[in-house]
Amino acid sequence: MTAAAVLASAAAVSLPAATGTDPRPTVATMLSWSKGTFIDPRLPAARWVDAHPADSRAEAVRTAISSRPMAHWFTGTSDPDLGAAVTDYTRSAQAAGQVPVLVAYNLPGRDACGAESAGGAAGPAEYEAWITTFAAAIGVRPAIVVLEPDALGDFSCLTAARVADRLALLDTAIRTLAATAPSTWTYVDAGHADWIDPATMAQRLLRAGVARAHGFSVNVSNFIGTTESRGYAEKVRAALGRPAAYVIDTSRNGNGGNGRWCNPAGRKLGRAATADPAALELWIANPGNSDGRCGVAPTTRAGVFDPALAQRLISGR
C-alpha cells in the first residue's frame, strides 16, 4: 500500500484520545508509513527563497531550511479564513503522503509576560469558537498538533483567576481536538528545561487535561540542546505518574542554549525531524522567523522571516 493510501485509510477511522490501550498506531509508526512530516512550500522561508532567487543567501536557505519539514503556526491573525487554511494545509499534506504538524497559538492573553508575541483571542468564547473551527478543519485526517506554546510556563504575571481560565481553555481545546479531530496526536506545550521545574509543570499539565492528549512538547521556539531537553521531558513524564509521549523542538538547538530566548547570537540549526519512538523530534519553530524586536534582529517583529537570522542559524554564528 502506498504511503498516501495508508494515511487515507488511517484518516477514515474515528478513534478515541490516546490512552494506554489506544488502538491507533504510534506517531513513529505513522511517520514510518508515510514520507515523514510535511514539507510546506508556502512557509515563510520557502516564500522568501522563491521571491529572491538572485540573493546570494537563497540557495543556502533553500538547502538548510526551506526544504525541511516544519510546523505551520495558526494564530488568530495568521489566516483570515481559518477553516479553509487548515483544511488546505492538511489536505495538501495528505496528498503528498506526509503528516502535517500544526501549532495552535491563540489563547487569550498569549505571551502576556513576554509580550513579543502578545495577542490571542479576545476572550474565552472567541477562543472556543476558534479552536472548534481549527479542529473541525483537520477532521479525520492524520495530524500532529502542538497546543499553545508557553501557555503553561507563562504564569508569573497572571492572576489566579486568569490562570484558572487558561487551564480551563486548554482542557476545552484538548477535548475538542480529541472529539472532532480523532486522528490527531495533540501535544500540550510544557515549556523548556530552564523555565519551570518538572514537578510543577507536571501538575499544570494534569490540570490542563493532558490525560486526554497524546502527550506534551518541550523546547518549542527555544534553543536548549536535545539531551538536556530529553532529560527534562523524562522528569516531567515521571512526575505525571501516567503514560505520556513527548516531542522536542530541535529546530534551533544545534549549539544548545545560552540562557536567552529572543534572537540570541551564536545559535544553530538542530537535527532534522525524526520519528524516534523514544522521543519525537520536530522542527516546530520556523528557523529564520524572528522571536521579536530583540537580540540580533532588533527591528524584525515576531514571526517575520529574516534572511540574516537564517544565515546566522545556518553558520552557527
The residues carrying an active-site annotation are 150, 291
253 is in an annotated binding site: no
Strand 280-282 with 245-249, pairing: parallel
Element (H, E) at 216: strand 215-218
48 is in an annotated binding site: no
261 is in an annotated binding site: yes
> Rounded distance, CA 231 to CA 229, Å?
5
289 is in an annotated binding site: no
33 is in an annotated binding site: no
User: DSSP letter string over 83-109?
Assistant: HHHHHHHHHHHHHTT-B-EEEE---TT
Place of cell 538536556: 228
Q: All 3 cell numbers of residue 181?
A: 479531530
Interior CA angle at 139 toward 133 and 144, to 5°? 95
Q: All 3 cell numbers of residue 124?
A: 474565552
Q: All 3 cell numbers of residue 290?
A: 524572528
> Rounded distance, CA 148 to CA 205, Å?
12
Annotated binding site for substrate: 73, 192, 195, 222, 261
